Structure formats: C-alpha cells, structure tokens
Structure 1
Amino acid sequence: MIEKSKNFILKISLFYTAIFFIFIAIPTYFYTNLELESYKNTQNRLLIEHAQIIQRAIYDFSNSKSDTFIFPKSFKFEATLLTAEQKIIYKTRDLNIDDNSKMSIEVELSNNRLNAKYLILTKKISFEEIYLKILILSLSIGLFIFISIYLIIKASIEPYKKANEYLDAFFNDAMHELKTPLGIIQLNLEILEAKGNESKELERSINATKNLFLVYEDIEYLIKEKSVQYNKENIDFSYLLKQRIDQFESLANTRNIKFNLKIEDNLFSLINRTHLQRIIDNTISNAIKYSKQETTISIILKKKNESIIFSVHNIGKAIKNKKTIFNRYEKENHIKGGFGIGLNIVKNICEINNIDIFLESNEENGTLFQYTFFN
C-alpha cells in the first residue's frame, strides 16, 4: 500500500510538472529568441569593434612614412581586404567556418595606401551555450516545481492516508468480531435442526446465516486482498466443489431449485484455496439468486485436454450488459440484494490465475458461466 501511495504521488507530481512545462513553453520560446537575438547583437558588435581596429590601423599606415603594414590579427576573426574590383589584397588564416555557424560584415574603406576598398570580417558563432543555458534553467525550474508539488501532495494526502489506515484497522477488527458470533449462530441453528426442530423459521434463519457468511467472506477477501499473499497449492477441485454445493443445497431448496451435477472425480488444480472457493461460491450463489423458481441449475466439472472446465448454467432473466457485469458494484437487479462485488472478485481472481471466463446469457437458454483452468 505504501509503495502504491508513493507511485501515485510520483505520477501526479510528474503530471502537474508536465502541465507546468506546457504552460511555460510559449514564454520559454520567446525568451530563447530574445537570448539568441542578444547573442547575435553581441557578436555583431564584436565584429564592428574589430573592423574599427583594422580601419584605424589602415588609416595610421596611410598617414605614416612606414613601408610595412602590420595587420591586426585575431584568432577569433577571419579578415579579407579587397580592391574595388573584388580582388583579394590580403586574407588572414582560413578558419574553415561553416556557412550555418558564421556571422559576417562588410565595411567600405576610405582611400588608403593599400588600395583596399572593402574589408570583410567573419566570426564563428555557436548557439550551444544559449541552448544549454535554457535547458539547465528549465530543468532546474522543473525540478523545483516537481519537488514542490510532490511535497505538497504528500502533505495534503497524509491525513487521508492515516484515516484510511484507521478505517482498514476498524474493518479488520469489525470482521474479526463478526466472525465468531456468526459461527456460533450457524452452529446452534444446525444443532437445533439436527435435533429435529424442523420449521420454516429455523430453515430461513440457517439460510440467512449462510448468506451472511457469503457476504462476510467476500468483504473479508476485499480487505485482505492487498496485504495477504495467496499462495497456490494443488487443490482437489472435485472434492471442494462437492463440499461447497452441499452448503448451497438448503438455499436452493427454499426456491425449489434442483442441482444437476456432472462432476468428474480427482480433478486437481494449482490454485489458492480461497481464490477457488470465491469463484465457486459467487458463481453458484448468483445462479441460485437469479434463477426462476422450480428450475434446475447444471453444474459441470470436467477435464478437457490439459485444462479443467467448470461451468454453472441456470434458467432466469438474461444478463443485459455482459461487458459491465464484472464491474465492481454493478448490479442489474437491485431488488435481489447484495453489493455487486462478487463477480468483480471473481474476475480479479481469474486475471491473477490466468483463468479464462466465458459468459453466455439470453432469455431462451438462460445464463452460462464457464471457467477454463489451464493447469
């Protein structure tokens, strides 16, 4: 539970951080363009400043009596002096600058002793530093936002987390306290029945207690589902199924429903006993609950190739929406009672154990639940 809570907070924090980045994408775009424009202006200013240095040197040479002109060189710039006819007079070392990563200016020179008319200056430029700066800034802001959101969400759900823990503890204690009196009630009712005190009132009380146990076991499973390790064992499916049918026989008798059993003996399945019992109990109890009176429920357990097929068929109203019937709290008939959790438990158990579910339901042929256990 703690691990799932952490994962939930992490996902929510990442989600809101992503939303934050979407909102700042446009401002970041404009800020990046401003930075690029500022960088270009700076590089252009450096070109102009160096061009002015060269112009000053040419001017000083033209006004001097020296026969030697010392060209102001720099490893950052590539300079070319051209005549009016675009012939090269002088060129510094070629920096092999790519066309996409250079900036150039052309300056027209005044009359001079070198007969140079034009000065072309080229400088290598790179936007990597700007992009790296934007990336580091974005990641820093993103990390700050993520940590802030994470801590805020964690602090905000802490009271709910504690309340949930108290609620789980309450339900665990309540279920523990309920089990003993329920067991005593059922035991005493069965003793009375064994003594020959047969009556409709006694029979109804026994059946009501059995129904309470079914609900109790479903709720207990839901509470313990996340915290208990349900280990698999080699279960005698045939024997357990017969046992559970015996428990349901009195419930079926109250509605004059008969069981038609075709159960092969000695069929074993590698599954947890609680998981298998929940599949059997919920499927049979639903078949009884939603069957028409004085009908027959067919229960089949057989081996097919390397698989075991368990099916329950009853005659009653068709299931309208077979896609949602396995959803939690989904009930098509609210008059029949129940919480709508039984089939959802069955579906989850089948997914855990790789059990295939087949459901067929119509008004003419009734409803068939079929489970294929791949051993």
Structure 2
Amino acid sequence: MNLYKSEKQTIFYVLALYLSSTLLLITTLFTGYYFYKQEELIHTEKEILKQYSLTLEETLLSVHENSDEKYEYPRFKNFKSAIYDIDKNLIFSTLDTKIENLDKDFFVKDSNAYYVSSLKPYYLGAAYSVVEKKKKPINILNDLIISAMIVITITIITSFFLVKLVLKPLRDNLRLLDNFIKETTHELNTPITTILANIETLDAKSCDEKSMRKLQRIKTASTTISNLYQDLVYLLLNHQISSQNEELNLSEILNQRVHYFSQMANVKKLNLNVDIKEDVYFNADRQKIERLIDNILSNAIKYTNKFTTIKVVLTQHTLSISDEGKGMSQDEISTIFQRYRRFDKTQGGFGIGYSIIKSIIDEYGIKIDIESEIQKGTKVTLSW
C-alpha cells in the first residue's frame, strides 16, 4: 500500500494551514511594531523640533533686545528656520521648502520635518516661527524583513518535523496494516488457484441440472475472488515491480478474458456480443493489460441488469465495452478514478477497479472516454 503521495498531501495541507496562520500572526505583529516605532520616531522628532523652536525664540529675543534698526537673521547648525508676521506673511526664511500652511504645529514634507509655534510678544515683528530639520529615516524595515524571514524559516523547519512526528504513529499502524494485507493476500493465492483448477477438472456432463447450477455458482464466486486477488496484488506490488513490456496480441488476450468472465455473465443471463478484430497488437506488460480489461469487463457485468447485452468491440486503435445497466451521472463519472470510490453499496468490491485502470492508462498513454446515461447504461472506450 503506497501511502507516500497521501502522506505528502497531508503534510502539505497541515504545513500550509500552520504556516499561513503563523505568517498572518508574524505580519500583524511586525506591522504593529513598525507603526509603533514610526509613531515613536515622530514623537522624538517633534520633541527635538520643540527644543529647536525654543532656541530660535530665545535667539530672536536676544536679537530683538540688542539690535538697532539693522540686524542679521540668526543661523543654526542643526536646523533651519523662518519667521512670519501676524498675517502669516513671510518675513525671513532659511528653509529648503516654501511653507504654504501654518495651521499644523507639526508636519512632514518631502524629507524634512517642520514645527510651527506662535511668538508672543512679537520679536522682530514675527508672530509665527517655523523650524526645519532633516527627517530621520526609519531603518527598522530591513531589519524587520530579515527577522521575519528568519522566523518563517525556523517555523517551516520546526513545523515540518512536528508534522512528521505527529504522523509517525499513523504511519506505523498503516505499515502494520499494509503488511497484514500483503500476507493475507499471499495466503489467498493457493486456495483460489486450487479451487479454480479443481472446478475445471470436474466433468460437467456427469452432473445433473441442480449440481450444475451449484457448480456454476462456485465457479462464478471463485472467479470473483480470483479477480479481487489479482487487483490486490497489483495495488500492493505494482510500485515494486518494473513493467515487462512486449508486443501483445490484444485480440487473443481479449478473447481469453471474455471467456474467463463468460461464467459470470451466464449467471446473470447476459448476452456477450463480441466483435474483435484479429491481430491487433500493442506494446505493454501483459499482466497490466489483463488487469485493465478485467476491471472494465467485470464492472460491466457487475453493474448491468439481468437479461441484457454487453458489447465488446476491438478495432485497430480502440477497445469499447458497453452495458445496459443503471448508468452514472456526470458527477459520479468525474470522481470515478478515486480509490475506494463506490456508487452502488449493494454490489461487492472495494472501489479500487477504476483506480487501477487510471494508473495503467496513464502509464501507457491510453485515452479513456466514459459515456453514461442513467437507467440506460455505460460505454467505456479506450483509444491509443
């Protein structure tokens, strides 16, 4: 039983859910931290500009008290400034940018931060002062991105090992079940072969009608068990055995498989309408082609109604098998290749037939077309 694919899918889905939720949490936390640091930086910038504004005000006071009619506007190393009159007209400025609006006490424009304050009394005729400094860049963004990548990487590695650890008991139990099925399947081989061989040696002519019917039922049941056994062997061992491809005479193989299932068809009073073109060849593994034909043919026999006809037609590049059974809906056809998918619980089987069919046609590039109509029947066509 090959669980590697389903195991990978489980790991993928769990990791996807875990990582997406973790990523969302990390993004939320880091975004919140980023905006917090941004607000903190703005607050710091504003406090610094307030101090610069006080320095400017003290300097203006000194100039106002010690100057005559002419004075030199003060310059500062750490900041630039401007003063405006009561009507907000510019008196003098060393700013890099022209300021249009003095309504906000703090704002950022381009790459500079500005602080506006009112002056009372009006030193040098100024009612408003503006101080400007280069805005300090927020350098934490790159650090946050690097930190996030490190956290996500650690989370991926940790979560992968956690998922593997959680799945280990399940894998161990499935491995035990797998070994049990393999051993049980192996033990079935000898009794099935013995039953079929002994049935073939019985002389049907020496049996009365009642015994003949019993013999037919035994043979049909044995054929069903044998077919199920072959399917189980294929599922269990297919991934371990390489294909032995050879040039096969499909016409001969199809005739043999129709004959093999003829007893099952007779029990349901089915008419096998066979049209097989002679000497049709195909390069493939014989056992796999037999599994392919057997599963399509056995499904047709199993799900068709009594006293109806099953048509088997082989041409140079197509094989079609049609029945007059209950049919399938389009929704059922779309999920027919899923392993263990069964649509009729009243019939036997495990729902593995079409899963086997799918793996074989994919290996050999065979196209399959399923036409079905409720209460009218199903037609399966293979083309190559």
**Normalized against structure 2, the TM-score is what?**
0.77
Pairwise CA distance, 1:28: 5.6
Unaligned runs of 5+ in 2: 99-106
| Structure 2 CA distance for partners of 1:125 and 1:371, relative to 1, 3 Å | farther
Supply the distance in 2 between the matched residues of 1:127 and 1:10 (Cα, whole angstroms). 40
Supply the distance in 2 between the matched residues of 1:126 and 1:357 (Cα, whole angstroms). 69
Letter in 2 for 1:179: N
Q: In 2, are the aligned partners of 1:311 and 1:368 still within 8 Å (CA)?
A: no
Structure-2 residue corresponding to 1:163? 173
Pairing partner for 1:19 from 18, 21, 41: 21
Pairing partner for 1:242 from 255, 268, 287: 255
Question: What secondary structure is seen at the aligned counterpart in 2 of 1:318?
Answer: coil
> 1:283-298 alignment to 2 at 5 Å?
283-298=296-311
Pairing partner for 1:314 from 312, 323, 338: 323
Letter in 1 for 2:351: G
| Structure 2 CA distance for partners of 1:12 and 1:232, relative to 1, 3 Å | farther
| Structure 2 CA distance for partners of 1:236 and 1:128, relative to 1, 3 Å | farther
Pairwise CA RMSD:
3.9
Structure-2 residue corresponding to 1:180? 190
> 1:174-213 alignment to 2 at 5 Å?
174-190=184-200, 192-193=201-202, 199-200=211-212, 201-213=214-226
**Matched residue pairs, number?**
364
Q: In 2, are the aligned partners of 1:258 and 1:295 still within 8 Å (CA)?
A: yes
CA deviations 1:313-367 (Å, max 9, x no partner) are 334x42253532625444454444222332343345445535122223454xx42
Structure-1 residue corresponding to 2:37? 35
Q: In 2, are the aligned partners of 1:73 and 1:92 still within 8 Å (CA)?
A: no
Pairwise CA distance, 1:134: 4.5
Q: In 1, are the aligned partners of 2:313 and 2:319 still within 8 Å (CA)?
A: yes
Structure-2 residue corresponding to 1:262? 275
Q: In 2, are the aligned partners of 1:263 and 1:300 still within 8 Å (CA)?
A: yes
Structure-2 residue corresponding to 1:91? 94
Supply the distance in 1 between the matched residues of 2:60 and 2:124 (Cα, whole angstroms). 8
Q: Which stretch shows the higher mean deviation, 143-152 or 61-70? A: 61-70
Pairwise CA distance, 1:370: 2.6
Q: In 2, are the aligned partners of 1:81 and 1:91 still within 8 Å (CA)?
A: no
Pairwise CA distance, 1:158: 1.0
Q: In 2, are the aligned partners of 1:297 and 1:314 still within 8 Å (CA)?
A: yes
Letter in 2 for 1:323: D
Structure-1 residue corresponding to 2:368? 356
Pairwise CA distance, 1:157: 1.0
Q: In 2, are the aligned partners of 1:78 and 1:94 still within 8 Å (CA)?
A: no
| Structure 2 CA distance for partners of 1:288 and 1:118, relative to 1, 3 Å | closer
Letter in 1 for 2:172: K
Structure-1 residue corresponding to 2:129? 119
Letter in 2 for 1:49: Q
Pairing partner for 2:76 from 72, 76, 81: 72
Question: What secondary structure is seen at the aligned counterpart in 1 of 2:331?
Answer: coil
Structure-1 residue corresponding to 2:103? none
Letter in 2 for 1:264: K
Q: In 1, are the aligned partners of 2:303 and 2:326 still within 8 Å (CA)?
A: no
Q: In 2, are the aligned partners of 1:89 and 1:116 still within 8 Å (CA)?
A: no
| Structure 2 CA distance for partners of 1:161 and 1:78, relative to 1, 3 Å | farther
Q: In 1, are the aligned partners of 2:296 and 2:321 still within 8 Å (CA)?
A: yes
Supply the distance in 1 between the matched residues of 2:271 and 2:5 (Cα, whole angstroms). 48
| Structure 2 CA distance for partners of 1:2 and 1:29, relative to 1, 3 Å | same
Supply the distance in 2 between the matched residues of 1:232 and 1:188 (Cα, whole angstroms). 32
- Structure 1 residue 323 and structure 2 residue 320: aligned? no
Supply the distance in 2 between the matched residues of 1:26 and 1:286 (Cα, whole angstroms). 55
Letter in 1 for 2:234: Y
Share of identical aligned residues, percent? 22
Pairwise CA distance, 1:298: 1.9
- Structure 1 residue 345 and structure 2 residue 356: aligned? yes
Q: Which stretch shows the higher mean deviation, 86-95 or 294-303? A: 86-95
Question: What secondary structure is seen at the aligned counterpart in 1 of 2:282?
Answer: strand
Pairwise CA distance, 1:104: 0.9
Supply the distance in 2 between the matched residues of 1:345 and 1:30 (Cα, whole angstroms). 54
Pairwise CA distance, 1:299: 0.9
Structure-1 residue corresponding to 2:232? 219
